[in-house]
Structure 1
């Protein structure tokens, strides 16, 4: 299927949010977090969120997968399709919830584990950053030393990604290449030679699209996203037109008022009576007297 959107919430969650394919999720996480064979994550438990509603302002544009890793590390993978200016604030908010929810009432702080937020974005967000992958920690302003390794927030911006050398591809690059939609099936097959998980992802994608029910659900979600963009575009265009009309009307009104005041000033200078000026300009006596005071100053 051409132009298949791999960031579609239904597809993404079935691919990386299902315990049946947790090996793919582990491959994605170990790649993004730059883990090697010695310190890689070996198991993952998903937090069940299947009962969350799909709403226009929430799940349409935002999808997250919460999970616990084998060493207790907490991770939240968020996919954001629609541009959102407050990604940093929202990511920090969800990170704080994920971190604080580890402790039950009365539990000791030493039981807290590292919490990682990964934001997979379909748009450019960090204007001053050129790299597609940026990591944020809690650092000392002067020494740049970490206060703690418990906080880690990643931003993965798909539009900034370009594969430089397919022969030396890293696991993280392989996954971003897959989700970016910039590469053909043939190119993905070449990528899969170095990252076997991508081959399994492509095979699952084919199975997903051959399932009529799954494909129908996918297409409905894509239509909802298109409609959302269409509505937003129409609202912006309508708002712009209204703003232009209001601005034009205000400008004409201001210009007319200035013209009337100028005529009144000229009539005052010609020693015309206040009654005459009022009848020919529509200004009241107080307004004309105010103009007269401005002239005499």
Structure 2
């Protein structure tokens, strides 16, 4: 399908949140977390409920992928397509829940495992950072020594991503190229020649789009996102109009103080004669 949105979180979860395709999830995680052959994650257990609904009735509920890795590491992957100014706070909140939920009441702190949050963003969030991939840990502000490796928060900002050399592409870059939607089918086929996981992702995408139920769920989610943007746009426009109206009232008040003719005030503020007379009485 033309203009298919691979960041549609229902599709994303089908692609990387299904145990039948956990090899793709492991490929994505090992690439983003820069694991070498000695450190590779080799297995993953998804923690999401099996009965999660496929459709959300137009609501923009948060969908993410929660999982345990074979060494005990906890991971949360979230896709965010709508600009959200409090991403840092939300990431910390979900990281803290993931970290604290490891311990049952009375359990020892030694049982706590590393927790990683990965945010895949369709917008620029970190204004002072130029790289598309930024990692945050808990560091000493003077020495920059790491307090612990138990906290790790990643931000992947797709608008900042640019593929420099198709011939020397890394797996992490291949995944970002796939999700960015900026590369043609032919270019993705070229990427897939060096990254088998991308070949499998493209094949799954074709199967997904041929399934009427899956495609309907995808389209409902896309509609919910469009409705959200329309609502935000209308809200901003209303706010601007309200701001302009308040500015017009203040201008009218200033002109009345200067004894400017009411007809002239109406001309320059677009306020009615009646509105200006009310302001004059007040």
Same fold (TM over 0.5): yes
Distance of 1:47 and 1:188 partners within structure 2: 31
Which residue is 1:105 aligned to? 105
Distance of 2:225 and 2:244 partners within structure 1: 29
Which residue is 1:89 aligned to? 89
Identify if the C-alpha distance between structure 1 residues 138 and 57 changes in structure 2 by more than 3 Å, giving closer, same or farther.
farther
Q: Which runs of 5+ in 1 are unaligned?
A: 261-281, 284-297
Which residue is 2:179 aligned to? 179
Q: Is the deviation greater in 238-247 or in 107-116? A: 238-247
Distance of 1:55 and 1:88 partners within structure 2: 28
Which residue is 1:207 aligned to? 207
Q: Is the deviation greater in 226-235 or in 17-26? A: 226-235
Determine helix, strand or coil for the equivalent of 2:125: coil
Q: What pairs with 1:1-297 in structure 2 (closer than 5 Å)?
A: 1-49=1-49, 50-51=51-52, 54=56, 58-59=60-61, 62-259=62-259
Distance of 2:59 and 2:80 partners within structure 1: 12
Kindly report the root-mean-square deviation, in angstroms, between the aligned alpha carbons of the 2 structures.
Answer: 1.7
Distance of 1:121 and 1:9 partners within structure 2: 11
Distance of 1:152 and 1:133 partners within structure 2: 13
Which residue is 2:266 aligned to? none
Distance of 1:243 and 1:144 partners within structure 2: 45
Displacement of 1:100 in angstroms is: 0.6
Which residue is 1:271 aligned to? none
Displacement of 1:57 in angstroms is: 6.6
Distance of 1:147 and 1:57 partners within structure 2: 39
Contact 1:63–1:80 (8 Å) recurs in 2: no
Summarize deviations over 1:149-194 as a string: whole Å, max 9, x none: 0000000000000000111111111101000001011111111111
Determine helix, strand or coil for the equivalent of 1:193: helix
Distance of 1:167 and 1:225 partners within structure 2: 35
TM-score w.r.t. structure 2 length? 0.88
Distance of 1:121 and 1:155 partners within structure 2: 7
Determine helix, strand or coil for the equivalent of 1:79: strand
Contact 2:66–2:77 (8 Å) recurs in 1: yes
Which residue is 1:273 aligned to? none
Distance of 1:42 and 1:108 partners within structure 2: 27
Distance of 2:34 and 2:135 partners within structure 1: 12
TM-score w.r.t. structure 1 length? 0.84
Summarize deviations over 1:225-257 as a string: whole Å, max 9, x none: 112111211121122112101210222023213
Distance of 2:29 and 2:57 partners within structure 1: 27
Displacement of 1:56 in angstroms is: 6.1
Contact 2:58–2:220 (8 Å) recurs in 1: no
Displacement of 1:212 in angstroms is: 1.3
| Superposed structure 1 runs of 4+ greater than 4 Å apart | 55-58
Which residue is 2:265 aligned to? none
Contact 2:57–2:220 (8 Å) recurs in 1: no
Q: Which runs of 5+ in 2 are unaligned?
A: 261-279
Determine helix, strand or coil for the equivalent of 2:245: helix
Structure having the higher Rg? 1
Determine helix, strand or coil for the equivalent of 1:138: strand
Which residue is 1:274 aligned to? none
Distance of 1:185 and 1:172 partners within structure 2: 18
